[in-house]
């Protein structure tokens, strides 16, 4: 079954700095990949979705993700971090029968 | 409704008691999922419902856990004889047809077993 790895349980950046959150998938190219964001005491909210054929995917709040087959990666980036971006971010892909498997999450900390 | 609604938002229960967690999915979403999120852990799949088909219960951790979905809409997750290790946030999500559309999550129920 497919699995997803998020390197770095915590990432700290300064406001205005580049945000890079890493996600790698385990084996065959998935037909779709997702990034979700979770703010404190809330459920997960969809940030963006990759589908086959795309390479750079744009999402909400200025985030984008680049799919790289050669690196089995789908890293999430944002050129300039805002304080409001502080949250936990999850990468997810299909695994098994009709469900998504989620990474363990990366908590983004943004300092002024 | 406009979003996925879960109730209660917080539940504190004594060890050994039974609890029921409720999920009201988005109208028209045929797929419904329950996940568990424990401190420092990712999301653990529990159960999946699709329309009136038999649910995929492969993620339920023990026979103390059960879930039903009535009329293809509202779902209830029941945990019998709660244990301290059941303490977690239980998230419900729904999807239009299937996982390829992505999930819409509720805000979760935080369960604390004391």
Mean pLDDT per 10-residue run, chain A (112 residues)? 89 98 89 93 92 90 94 96 97 88 95 96
* Four-residue CA torsion sign, A94, A98, A104, A107: positive
- Comparing C-alpha atoms, which of A103, A37, A42 is closest to residue B9? A42
- Is B107 close to A102, i.e. CB distance below 8 A? no
Q: Give dist(CA B7, CA A96) in Å, integer.
A: 29
Q: What are B94's two structure tokens?
A: 């729904």
- Chain B closest-CA separation from residue A86 CA (Å): 17
Confirm if A22 and A6 have CB atoms less than 8 A apart.
yes
Question: Residues A85-112: pLDDT tens digits?
Answer: 999 999 999 888 888 999 999 999 999 9
Per-residue model confidence (pLDDT) at position B1: 54
Of B45, B100, B105, the CB nearest to A44: B105
Q: Give dist(CA A5, CA A66) in Å, integer.
A: 16
């Amino acid at each position: 079954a497919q699995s997803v790895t998020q390197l770095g349980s915590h990432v700290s950046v300064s406001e205005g700095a580049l945000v890079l959150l890493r996600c790698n998938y385990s084996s065959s190219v998935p037909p779709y990949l997702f990034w979700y964001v979770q703010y404190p005491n809330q459920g997960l909210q969809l940030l963006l979705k990759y589908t086959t054929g795309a390479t750079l995917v744009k999402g909400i709040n200025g985030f984008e993700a680049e799919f790289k087959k050669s690196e089995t990666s789908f890293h999430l980036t944002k050129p300039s971090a805002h304080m409001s971006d502080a949250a936990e971010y999850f990468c997810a892909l299909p695994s098994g029968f009709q469900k998504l498997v989620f990474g363990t999450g990366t908590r983004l900390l943004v300092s002024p | 409704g406009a979003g996925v609604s879960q109730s209660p938002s917080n539940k504190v229960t004594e060890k050994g008691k039974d609890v029921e967690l409720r999920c009201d999915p988005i109208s028209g979403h045929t797929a419904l999922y329950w996940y568990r999120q424990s401190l420092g852990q990712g999301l653990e799949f529990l159960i999946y419902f699709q329309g009136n088909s038999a649910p995929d219960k492969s993620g339920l951790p023990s026979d103390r856990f059960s879930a039903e979905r009535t009329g293809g809409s509202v779902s209830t997750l029941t945990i019998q004889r709660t244990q301290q290790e059941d303490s977690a946030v239980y998230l419900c999500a729904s999807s239009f047809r299937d996982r390829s559309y992505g999930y819409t999550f509720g805000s979760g129920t935080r369960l604390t077993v004391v």
